[in-house]
Amino acid sequence: MQGSPLSSAVLFHLGPMPIARQVATTWVIMLVLAVGSRMATRRLALHPGLRQAAVETLIATLAEDIKAIVRRDPGPFLSLLGTLFVFLAVSNLSGVLPGVQAPTGRLETPAALAAIVFLSVHYFGVRSQGARRYLASFAQPKLIMLPLNVVSEITRTFSLMVRLFGNVMSGEFVLALVVTLAGLFVPIPFMVLEILVGLIQAYIFTVLATVFIGAAVGGERG
């Protein structure tokens, strides 16, 4: 039985600091991605092989999607949003592995990722428009909209967190329940569905983050 998704099982202590299971899993995923990225980008060639072609296709696809949303050069946003998508995809899919709980299936990880998006939106907004003009956009079109726009920034970030957490957590719960009731091999179709849902949720989260950033650099509120 899995514990409450709102609680964190302590795996070990690092000095006085308790390290939860999802934190340790996140560290492993970060290490795997760092090593994998290093290996995937070694010995780049003018005529790419299968590995380099796959990496270039992923980057080109992400860049095109970002450009279509923000309607400007995707370069400044590609590192953040590309890393976000890859990390989310791997994190969501890690729950399919036996004995592994997806970090995004616990509230802390979606909350941290949503906070990163929240800070990034305002960073790019200030960087693109300047602090004065960007802050003034919260009072557009009328000053009375200021509190509503501020609340909107908070609620959409909260929605981003809850959407990711709810979908990944519920998918893990259903898969664990089916495995418990039906055995290991019967739930294979559910595992395929969980993989699909994990990839879709990673894409949706990244697209929404791109939309928020695009609105900030364009001075739009909504």
Distance of alpha carbon 110 from alpha carbon 105, whole angstroms? 8
Pairing relation of β-strands 10-14 and 17-20?
antiparallel
Rounded to two decimals, the pTM is 0.84
- Tens of pLDDT, residue by residue over 149-166, are 899 889 999 999 998 988
Say if residue 64 is exposed, middle or buried (CB neighbours under 10 Å; 0-12, 13-18, 19+): exposed
Confidence of residue 4 (pLDDT cuts 50, 70, 90): low
Distance of alpha carbon 69 from alpha carbon 88, whole angstroms? 20
Query: Considering only 14-28, 51-65, 109-123, 174-188, which range has the smallest mean pLDDT?
Result: 174-188
Q: Where are the beta strands (DSSP E) in the chain?
A: 10-14, 17-20
Strand partners, 20: 10
What is the DSSP code (8-state) at residue 2? -
Mean pLDDT of 21-29: 87
Q: What is the pLDDT of residue 1?
A: 42
- Tens of pLDDT, residue by residue over 28-64, are 999 999 998 888 888 777 777 788 888 889 999 999 9
- Tell me the CA distances in angstroms from 67 to 55, 74, 75, 127, 143, one per residue in order: 18, 5, 9, 18, 31
Domain layout of the chain by residue ranges: 10-218
One DSSP character per residue, 54-68 reads HHHHHHHHHHHHHHH
Report phi then psi at 98, rounded to 5: -60, 130
